[in-house]
Structure 1
Amino acid sequence: MSDAPTPVPAAAVELTALVNEGLGNSCYLVDLGDGSALVVDPPRDLRAVRAAAEKAGLRIRFAADTHLHADFLSGAVQLAHDDGAAVLASTAGRREFDHHGLGDGDQVDLGGLTVTALETPGHTDEHLSFVLADGGRAAGVFTGGSLIVGSAARTDLLGADRTAELARAQFRSLQRLSALPADTAVWPTHGAGSFCSAPPGAARTSTIGAELATNPLLGIDDEDRFVEQLLGSLGSYPPYFLRLAELNRRGPGVLDAASAGQLAELPVSAVQRLRADGAWVIDARPVGDYARAHIPGAVSIPLRAQFATWLGWLVPADVAIVIVRNPDQDLTELVWQALTIGVDRLAGELACGIQAWSAAGHPTAGTALVRPGRIDPGHRVLDIRQEPEYAAGHLPGAVHVELGALVHGATELPNAPTVVMCGHGERAAGAASLLERAGHRDLAVLDGGPGDWAAATGHSLVTGP
């Protein structure tokens, strides 16, 4: 699993941060001191939450959501169903399931500890932060997508017409949070690797005092300049972000945890029928295996911590999905990553993998892997990393198109011999597979990144957009 527990001391509060490295988020398990627990911003995949609670001998009695999440489905409804947990969330969110609606200043007695809701709009317009207090003393604040370490979360997820308005609200929210005592712990949900961050940083937790000293946005006292700074840092984000908030408002469907991590095994004939009906084949094998032989038209998304992000970014929301994997790859992890971002349309996996496809006499395709020092000078170099990555250093003459833009933009690129590159090769393989689906030929994937190319050739990278 990608979630790693991290003990986070704060006064006398026993708190564990559960970090999902792939989505770049943290949820928090708080020991309430009486054998029960509060979970803040739980994901739909509750395996790490339950493991941490079981290890600590805790029963989950409360689940709190700071906002209507756009990047993952909340596990609060599941916890209410399975554990009888009371769900704490903003009244302004108009959620369509049973919850304890909170407004600004509302307090909830957790049995010794209390949480106080602070309205902190900006990332979303119904956003709450939760101040956790022990005996009247603020121990920490769950800031969700408001104040994050070194920055603030993005404000453009409700549409371009709301972005500047929400950025101004974010300014006021950060000013409000920064007025808390300096030793108050800051426990954000979004952090490094999250496309909700603007921009991402390395650390995941902090204190109000540390943020006042180091967060450049808290050093801006002019609202117009704050808005300019925040909006200037916004990059692209996956299209599924536009769907999940509404699903979270309605309440994600309750899952049977015993069967949720399973997939039907499909014979080759069934995969053929599904493909004919418009299903996409997702090849989750490592890049080398995909490059050697894959089903023509399959999209390469290697199973790793970031699998869910790219599955949701590259695959249309209305198509069935067939998985191809190696037998040693964790099917349960793959399925839970998909479910966490609301991808419930996995039709099954190809039984016995690519070997079954070949054994049935069906053709396979291959993609060349190129070493960093062996790029043919006659080939176009296509760099598909995010804009900040490209600007930090790229090959001279490299064409830049972000991977997410290739979903609809692959047909617009001239069909020419191309080496596709990213930081290591996984995203580049995904880009090459999209180009292949669009009819491009003579494709290769760089086995490495720009640093490897510079080291192999002795040439310098180019910086800037």
Structure 2
Amino acid sequence: MGIDVTPVVDDGLGNSAYLVDLGDGRGLVVDASRDLRPVRAAAERRGLHVAYAVDTHVHADFLTGAVQLAADDGAQVIASARGHREFPHVGLDDGDEVDLGGLRLRALFTPGHTDEHLAYLLLDGQTAVGVFSGGSLIVGSAARTDLLGADRTDELTRAQYRSLQRLTALADDVVVWPTHGAGSFCSAPAGDRRTTTIGAEKAGNPLLAAPDEDAFLAALLGSLGSYPAYFSWLGELNRRGPDVLDAPSAGRLTPLSVPTVDRLRESGAVVVDVRPVSDFSDGHVPGALSIPLRPQFATWLGWLVSPGTPLVVVRDPDQDPEEVAWQARKVGYDQLAGELAGGMNAWREAGAAIRSIPLVTTEQLPDIDSGDLEILDVRQDSEFRSGHVPGARHVELGTLANRAAQLPARPTVVMCGHGERAMGAASLLARAGRSQVTVLAGGPRDWSTATARPLVAGG
């Protein structure tokens, strides 16, 4: 039989869920996030009712949608018995199978990314069609093994090596459906391929070319960068099970008056301004944090805002409040106090204080060789090493809040690749009391092109 497996890609988190048509009006979903809108749309297009919700591991980068699917659709949740989840599910261990009514799902214990990780082999009769590899084998790499702490990293990396050896013993034509892909902080190389085959990975995955376990360990750990702060606590929420939401109300933002927003700010709420960089530059609520609404919004919210913090949203009228709400909720931010009713126009009309952060072009940039200007590059380590402006100081955006007080007290221009992260960094500096801060429109390569000066490579 032809088997219909549809990837449902979250470009912002760099992950894929998979919807399997079981051939009788029922569907199976693997690694769905709590934002079920795209999964439900895919199921509706195919006329499927989701009967099974399968998780490969206790996710650190998004809240599972399995609990919500069980509540709303009556889906049977399938997950690793070793995960000690505190919500109803069918717990599988190595070799256990689930009869899907024509197809079968076989659990393969594949620890490494997490210590309870299962891959699932999809069988049609005795033929292995494909494997949902989760965070074990991924396109061109393997998922990171350092999320459970430094004291477990060596052990888990060696387990990952053995898990990959087990998976690559499958037939070359077996399709590999990984959860983590390009753009995921769970470790995935750049590229547009989201699925692969066992044969393709054996031929082209550099980690599989490692001659032994020690070489694999060095190669994998050497490729890892930083990861968002929320990864450290989201896994436990997934083990306990996310709260079930009322879907219509969960996607709404309550309108808040200017005085109400002021009271919430005074009591510790964070104003998250999701407008484009240029709008934030022109004027914003004092102390607001700039996180423009784009596919990566959820990642930076989870990196820059402490869990449990009440959030007040400021947006432009043409920005979708439902998108803001669901991106926040899929990474565990349910304390959505609401949004500033009328946006910045209402704030201005009320005569409330407004702050601005200048946005400058390369041509407007002061002389970087004078020594009077602090150049702050907030990109990731690998980006900075690939080429940066001479004399730039490097502090990743995710660590800036804890290091702002250590920066020299002089005029500072902040840069990233395009400007979104730089404005987020500038808003953090403003929250820390810094006033002489500007943001470069564009990035180091724009500066190099405009000045005809080379970038500096390395750390």
Category of TM-score, reference length = shorter chain: over 0.9
Aligned pair 1:317/2:307, yes or no?
A: yes
Match of 2:423 in 1: 429
Aligned pair 1:132/2:126, yes or no?
A: no
SS state at 1:259 partner:
helix
Matched ranges for 1:354-393 at <5 A: 354-377=344-367, 378-393=372-387
Match of 2:181 in 1: 191
* Whole-angstrom CA distance in 2 between matches of 1:406 and 1:199: 25
Of the structure 1 ranges 22-31 and 411-420, higher mean CA displacement relative to structure 2 is found in 411-420
Aligned pair 1:450/2:450, yes or no?
A: no
* Whole-angstrom CA distance in 2 between matches of 1:369 and 1:443: 9
One-letter amino acid matched to 1:86: Q
Query: 1:158 offset after TM fit, Å?
Result: 0.6
* Whole-angstrom CA distance in 1 between matches of 2:320 and 2:248: 16
Matched ranges for 1:380-419 at <5 A: 380-419=374-413
Q: TM-score, normalised by structure 1?
A: 0.96
Query: 1:410 offset after TM fit, Å?
Result: 1.2
For residues 203-247 of structure 1, the C-alpha deviation after alignment (integer angstroms, 9 at most, x for no partner) is: 211100000011000111310111111111111111111111111
Query: 1:145 offset after TM fit, Å?
Result: 0.6
One-letter amino acid matched to 2:154: A
Query: 1:315 offset after TM fit, Å?
Result: 0.8
Match of 2:230 in 1: 240
Residues 416 and 441 in structure 1, CA contact (< 8 A), matched pair in contact too: no
Q: Percent identity?
A: 64
SS state at 1:381 partner:
strand
* Whole-angstrom CA distance in 2 between matches of 1:189 and 1:201: 15
Match of 2:4 in 1: 14
Residues 299 and 434 in structure 1, CA contact (< 8 A), matched pair in contact too: yes
Residues 251 and 326 in structure 2, CA contact (< 8 A), matched pair in contact too: yes
Gaps of 5+ in 1: 1-10
* Whole-angstrom CA distance in 2 between matches of 1:412 and 1:344: 32
Aligned pair 1:460/2:450, yes or no?
A: no
Of the structure 1 ranges 368-377 and 241-250, higher mean CA displacement relative to structure 2 is found in 368-377
Find the partner of 1:32 among 22, 47, 55.
22
* Whole-angstrom CA distance in 1 between matches of 2:133 and 2:118: 8
Shift in alpha-carbon separation, 1:200–1:172, aligned structure 2, 3 A: farther
For residues 3-56 of structure 1, the C-alpha deviation after alignment (integer angstroms, 9 at most, x for no partner) is: xxxxxxxx8210110000001100000011111111000100101111110100
Query: 1:372 offset after TM fit, Å?
Result: 2.3
Aligned pair 1:299/2:289, yes or no?
A: yes
For residues 35-87 of structure 1, the C-alpha deviation after alignment (integer angstroms, 9 at most, x for no partner) is: 11110001001011111101001111111000000000000011111111111
Residues 180 and 188 in structure 2, CA contact (< 8 A), matched pair in contact too: no
* Whole-angstrom CA distance in 1 between matches of 2:406 and 2:220: 32
Query: 1:379 offset after TM fit, Å?
Result: 2.1
Query: 1:295 offset after TM fit, Å?
Result: 1.0
* Whole-angstrom CA distance in 2 between matches of 1:366 and 1:250: 42
* Whole-angstrom CA distance in 2 between matches of 1:191 and 1:154: 12
Aligned pair 1:86/2:76, yes or no?
A: yes
Query: 1:201 offset after TM fit, Å?
Result: 4.5
Of the structure 1 ranges 254-263 and 11-20, higher mean CA displacement relative to structure 2 is found in 11-20
For residues 344-371 of structure 1, the C-alpha deviation after alignment (integer angstroms, 9 at most, x for no partner) is: 0111111111111111111111111111
SS state at 1:440 partner:
coil
Match of 1:173 in 2: 163
SS state at 2:455 partner:
coil
| RMSD of aligned alpha carbons | 1.0
Aligned pair 1:162/2:152, yes or no?
A: yes
One-letter amino acid matched to 1:55: R
Residues 313 and 339 in structure 2, CA contact (< 8 A), matched pair in contact too: yes
For residues 103-160 of structure 1, the C-alpha deviation after alignment (integer angstroms, 9 at most, x for no partner) is: 0011111111111100000000000000111121111101101111111101111111
Matched ranges for 1:39-58 at <5 A: 39-58=29-48
SS state at 2:94 partner:
coil
Gaps of 5+ in 2: none
Residues 182 and 188 in structure 2, CA contact (< 8 A), matched pair in contact too: no
Match of 1:69 in 2: 59
* Whole-angstrom CA distance in 2 between matches of 1:226 and 1:201: 21
Residues 139 and 188 in structure 2, CA contact (< 8 A), matched pair in contact too: no
Instruction: Tell me the number of residue pairs that the alignment of Structure 1 and Structure 2 aligns.
Output: 455
Query: 1:274 offset after TM fit, Å?
Result: 0.7
Query: 1:199 offset after TM fit, Å?
Result: 4.5
For residues 316-357 of structure 1, the C-alpha deviation after alignment (integer angstroms, 9 at most, x for no partner) is: 113211111111100000100000001001111111111111
Q: TM-score, normalised by structure 2?
A: 0.98
* Whole-angstrom CA distance in 2 between matches of 1:463 and 1:210: 32
SS state at 1:60 partner:
strand
* Whole-angstrom CA distance in 2 between matches of 1:459 and 1:14: 52
* Whole-angstrom CA distance in 2 between matches of 1:348 and 1:167: 42
* Whole-angstrom CA distance in 1 between matches of 2:119 and 2:161: 14
* Whole-angstrom CA distance in 1 between matches of 2:445 and 2:3: 44
* Whole-angstrom CA distance in 2 between matches of 1:447 and 1:264: 33
Query: 1:255 offset after TM fit, Å?
Result: 0.8
One-letter amino acid matched to 1:392: S
Aligned pair 1:204/2:184, yes or no?
A: no
SS state at 1:445 partner:
strand
* Whole-angstrom CA distance in 1 between matches of 2:198 and 2:412: 49
Find the partner of 2:136 among 131, 134, 146.
146
One-letter amino acid matched to 2:317: P
